[in-house]
Amino acid sequence: MAQVRFDHVYKTFNKVEVVHDISIDVKDKEFLVLVGPSGCGKSTCLRMIAGLEEPTEGEIYIGDRVVNGVDPKDRDIAMVFQNYALYPHMTVFDNMAFGLKLRHFPKDQIKKRVEEAAEILGLQPFLKRKPKELSGGQRQRVALGRAIVREAQVFLMDEPLSNLDAKLRVATRAEIIKLHQRIQTTMVYVTHDQVEAMTMGDRIAVLNGGVIQQLGAPQELYDHPANIFVAGFIGSPAMNFIPGAKVGTVDGRTSVILEGIGKVEVPQIYEERARAAADRNLTFGIRPVHLEDVNLVSANSNHGDIRSAIDASVDVVENLGNELQVYLTTGGKNIVATLDPRAHVTAGNKIRLFVDSDQIHLFDTDTGEAIF
Amino acid sequence: MTTTDYQTVSIVPKAHKARKEHGQTWWAWVWVAPALILELIFYIYPLIQTIILSFQNADSSSYVGFKNYVTIFTNPTMLEVIKNNLLWLVLATLLTVGLGLIVAVLVDKVRVESVVKSALFVPMAISFVAAGVIWRFIYLYSPNGENQIGLLNAFLGLFKVQPQAWLINTSFNNLALIAVYTWMWTGFCMVIISAALKGIPEDVIEAAKIDGASNLTLFWRITVPMVQPTLGVVATTMVINVLKIFDVIYIMTGGDYKTDVVAVEFYNQLFNFSNYGLASALAILLLIVISPVMYINIRRLRAQEAER
């Protein structure tokens, strides 16, 4: 059992800095997800934990030990690779047993551990097969099995699901979550898929340009993104951003005024922050699910008169049965709204959208930082 | 039947189907014919002729049955030839393939890789006759006390080592010849094995490192098994090469001083002693030994292609 710690880690390849001053504390038994677009440095971070890359500066700890310069084999870690990285000339059994054999485990114990792992992963019928005789999903399970049998202190996974088809990906995702609950090992998981990050991680570190943008629990990242990048990266469909927002007073309440689009009341707890930022360039943010057809909200009546609303024209309506995905244009900006299927929307028409003012976000356009 | 006829036939359904198939077979033979004729003239006919010659006496005037073959396996000189060929077969193959593999692995992904590879591959670009001449100078021997013009003896002289008659001393002259062959062919083996090494995915190597493999374990348990099909092809190619070895020996010793091998002996019997019978028997012997290796080689190549 071990925690993993990054202490001001930098990594440079040929004078290009790919990881910049990263400090993370991965707690014992925690499932931490590193997420970000390609080239953000997330895989490099994982490879530095594995010992496949050395940090240019800073220290990495596994447990209480600084592991800089320690060989991968001496770090007590197990890793699952994107392309499975199975040994093609070995059977499934030998693939899983290889690490134990090299560590001189007794034969009966190797057999026991491999068979246990095979049972967890449903691989018993395939133990004598070679990797090329398996499907992609089965291969990935062998790769997981190879990591499990080692009973290592830290489990590293580098986009393990990205080569699987959509259905298998969802199923394997659940398997990995179950696996983590069962074996209770510290896990560091790299992905570019924010859905994987949200569903799997105890905590998520969002990386961009080699810098941690935000580190926190999935709900925290969703509800309180630290900046425009995180706000746009987490959540699907992505948050809508409307630049050129002003903070002013309407009917005695502090509001965000969107010229020619509408106005939204600022929640009381954020009024002070909003007014303090009034003289900056501001971007207004709202998630598609926090918009609704005004008529439906009025019909519910408990909202009384609508004080937060924006006007838009409808471009495309996609009916998913349980919801409508509506693409709109407002003030020259494209936005998306996820509406109740009873909403009256037709492509080409205008619509007034109610804005759930408790869920609004305001960002400094120049720095990208969240104001609230 | 012209192409136009053929097309007309093909659009008419059932009635002409039989005629169409017949036409196809006929055309197939026409296309294959040039290759078949060449094969018959230049391969099958000489082969049969050689087999017939091998059962005849020196001037091909009468049949002698298996006498030539009996000579090959009983005459002390001939046995020496076969023994030398076996020594070549084992040592030269092991050295070229082994060194090729080791060098390929050592220089893989190293900055000087292309320089080392080019340097080792250059001997392949030299004609084997020229290489033989170059190495004769390297091995050149003058009696002790005289100036050593041979590079190797001159070099050893710096360390006060007695000059050696590398090509004449029967206790190591075969090894000296095998060294020349190794110098020429290691680069070839290395280049092909190196290409196979590039085909090993990086993450498999990394997975093995994390699994606990040392560099030596990595080499024996991951690298070698993963390039094994290529090693097989390179090794069989070398075996075929070595069985037919001629030029190096012919140029450097002419097969004297107990360095004779089958191909050189075949040449000497044919052109120096005009013993067509024995020469043909030697040629057939080589063919019989090489054929199975060739067969294995072709099968391996096919299997490799099927896997792609």
Asked if the C-beta of A79 comes within 8 angstroms of chain B's C-beta atoms, the answer is yes
In the predicted model, what is the mean pLDDT of residues A9-20? 93
Q: pLDDT, tens digit, for every residue of B33-51?
A: 999 999 999 999 999 999 9
Contacts of B163 (CB under 8 A, 6+ apart): B141, B142, B143, B144, B148, B150, B153, B156, B157
Under an 8 A CB cutoff, do B208 and A82 touch?
no
Chain A residues within an 8 Å CB radius of B222: 87
Minimum CA–CA partner of B227 in chain A? A89
In which band, very low, low, confident or very high, does the pLDDT at B9 lie, cut at 50, 70 and 90? very low
Q: pLDDT, tens digit, for every residue of A254-271?
A: 999 998 898 999 999 999
Q: pLDDT, tens digit, for every residue of A335-365?
A: 999 999 998 898 999 999 999 989 999 999 9
CATH topology of domain B67-126+186-307: MetI-like fold (1.10.3720)
Contacts of A128 (CB under 8 A, 6+ apart): A91, A92, A93
Q: pLDDT, tens digit, for every residue of A21-44?
A: 999 999 999 999 999 999 899 999
Our CA-based measurement puts residue B219 at a distance from the nearest CA of chain A, in whole angstroms, of 13
Cα separation, B44 vs B88, in Å, equals 29
Instruction: Tell me which H or E stretch contains A22.
Output: strand A16-26
Spell out the domain ranges in chain B: 3-40, 67-126+186-307
Pairing of strands A77-80, A31-35: unpaired
Under an 8 A CB cutoff, do A87 and B212 touch?
no
Chain B residues within an 8 Å CB radius of A51: 209-210
Instruction: Map out the domains of chain A with their CATH numbers.
Output: 4-233 (3.40.50.300), 240-364 (2.40.50.140)
pLDDT (0 to 100) of residue B5: 44
High-pLDDT (> 90) share of chain A, %: 78
pLDDT (0 to 100) of residue B161: 85
Is this structure's pTM higher than 0.90?
no
A85 closest CB neighbour out of B206, B212, B225? B206
Under an 8 A CB cutoff, do A103 and B212 touch?
yes
B212 closest CB neighbour out of A87, A89, A99? A99
- Find residues 118-137 of chain A whose CB sits inside 8 Å of chain B: none
pLDDT (0 to 100) of residue B164: 86
In the predicted model, what is the mean pLDDT of residues B256-265? 91
Collapsing DSSP to helix, strand or coil, B198 comes out as: helix
Contacts of A292 (CB under 8 A, 6+ apart): A337, A339, A340, A343, A353, A354, A356
